[in-house]
Structure 1
Amino acid sequence: MSGSKEAASSSRSESFNDFYIEVKQIEKRDSVLTSKQQIDRLLRPGSTYFNLNPFEVLQLEHDTPVDQIKKKYRSLSILVHPDKNQEDRERSQTAFECVNRAWKVLENEVTRKRCLEMYEEAKERTDHMIAEKKKKLKKEGKGNEKIEEDDPEKYKHAVYVLVMKLFADMERKRQQLEQRDMEERKRKREAEIDEEEKKKSAKEWQKNFEESRQSRVDSWHSFQSGGAKKKKKEKKSKAGMFVPPKLKPESR
């Protein structure tokens, strides 16, 4: 029993050592970008726009395998971790959260696939744009002329720019749906409150109606009783009144 515990402990120790060595190797490899440089990069002007792309956040190509993505995430999260940047804790916390969000998107198969689809769409659109440019040049008799995107780096940049636009479009649509959903929930809640108020008013009216029933009955009885006494009194008064005899015409 003791031997199995020691073996398990040894195995955990080896796993930790492997992880520690891996992290140190990653830190050494990425030492060209210090913690401060990474924090500055992730919080630079326009970062809200650039950081929509998780591959941009982790400084990776879109075809990077998941295991390599995880390694880069580990190294970057260590560099910007608040505990490692006590003198700039608030900014490092923001950068750390940004790195975590990027990893959560890319570790999930569904969301990672959606990101890859945007790269494919950007490539298709760029290829279409290039074909249109060349078609136009051909019509103008300049079919042999080179275009900017014939340079691999320029082509890559054109795809990159379009990818960023697609991520921005996706975020805008997400915000619009969120706003619409919030407004719909607000409208439903207002309708529920209105319905509750109507039910409350109806309940209070019914309660007041029930409570005043006896009062109305008593008033009616009192009214009827008073009317009967008045009629009886009138009859009695009429009975005590002097009624003159009817005069007969004289006969001659």
Structure 2
Amino acid sequence: MSFNERPTTSKDTSFDSFYTEVKEIEKRDSVLTSSQQIDRLLRPGSTYFNLNPFEVLQIEPGATVEEIKKRYRTLSILVHPDKIQDNKDRAQTAFDIVNRAWKTLENDVTRKKCLDVYEEAKERTDHMIAEKRKKLRKESKGFENIPEDDPDKYKHAIYVMVMKLFADMERRRQQLDQRDQEERKRKRETEIEEEEKRKADLEWQKNFEESRQSRVNSWHDFQSGASKSKKSKKQKRMHGMIVPPKFKPESR
């Protein structure tokens, strides 16, 4: 995905709500209580926040696999359903989210894809900043600062772009899954149709063979009956008449 590609415009209202309500990136507190961690993982907008496994585990993208694994173990213990007896359902949901994030980052291929999202988010943000500066220069306001000159706001802009890219990826995944399901459904319907046609052809062939034998038998019966009828008629003619002797001329 190139940073020159224009970001996808989302019509998803829940994402728009999430996008506008994102606050300044807070300092990650690794000592949140079990209840606080569950609330964090299931908070409003969590559907989009939790697409980012680094966000779920509260760990920086530059962390090593061992550091990620250590963080996963700590967090999974905090939200484990066995630990939260008063609300096991919410705890189970939170635990599944944490486990899914670890499985994503544990795998070299999927972890690389997530890191690529961060890299692209930085490239897009830098491109956006460059366009802002270009616009200010055209307006003879090149001396003015832009919000992203503040390091925290620059980091926040990258953070927002990261979340948006993860959301875009998820939407594309869902679209591909839907197309794949529709294709499998169409293929299955075609297979069923062909199977039904094959069965119909076999049934027709079977009925044809059976009726053919019946027709052959009927024809044989007919031929046999006709032959017997002719013989019977001949015999009746023979039995119902006196056949005179042949006339012989008298010799002198």
**TM surpasses 0.5:** yes
**Hey, what's the Cα distance between the residues in 2 that align with 1:84 and 1:185?**
42
Q: Tell me, yes or no, if the aligned pair for 2:30 and 2:58 is still in contact at 8 Å.
A: no
Does residue 211 of structure 2 align to residue 216 of structure 1? Answer: no
**Hey, what's the Cα distance between the residues in 2 that align with 1:106 and 1:32?**
22
Q: Which amino acid aligns with 1:47?
A: S
Q: Which amino acid aligns with 2:71?
A: K
Partner of 2:89: 90
SS in 2 for 1:141: coil
| Root-mean-square deviation over aligned CA pairs | 2.4
Taking structure 1 as reference, are residues 152 and 30 closer, same or farther at Cα in structure 2, changes over 3 Å only? Answer: closer
**Hey, what's the Cα distance between the residues in 2 that align with 1:30 and 1:146?**
32
Partner of 1:167: 166
**Hey, what's the Cα distance between the residues in 2 that align with 1:138 and 1:176?**
41
Partner of 2:185: 186
Deviation at residue 219 of structure 1 after TM alignment: 2.6
Give structure 1 regions of 4+ aligned residues with deviation exceeding 4 angstroms: 222-230
Instruction: Identify the structure with the greater helix proportion.
Output: 1
Taking structure 1 as reference, are residues 31 and 199 closer, same or farther at Cα in structure 2, changes over 3 Å only? Answer: closer
CA deviation vs aligned residue, 1:152-189 (integer Å, no higher than 9, x gap)? 11111111111111101111111111111111111111
**Hey, what's the Cα distance between the residues in 1 that align with 2:30 and 2:178?**
42
Q: Which amino acid aligns with 2:124?
A: R
**Hey, what's the Cα distance between the residues in 2 that align with 1:30 and 1:143?**
39
TM-score, normalised relative to structure 1? 0.76
Identity of aligned residues (%): 77
**Hey, what's the Cα distance between the residues in 2 that align with 1:159 and 1:103?**
23
Deviation at residue 31 of structure 1 after TM alignment: 6.9
Aligned residues: 209
**Hey, what's the Cα distance between the residues in 2 that align with 1:108 and 1:43?**
25
Higher alpha-carbon deviation: 201-210 or 51-60: 201-210
- Within-5 A mapping of 1:132-151: 132-151=131-150
- Within-5 A mapping of 1:193-232: 193-224=192-223, 229=229
Higher relative contact order (CA 8 A, sep 6+): 2
Partner of 1:247: none
- Within-5 A mapping of 1:51-70: 51-70=50-69
Partner of 1:71: 70
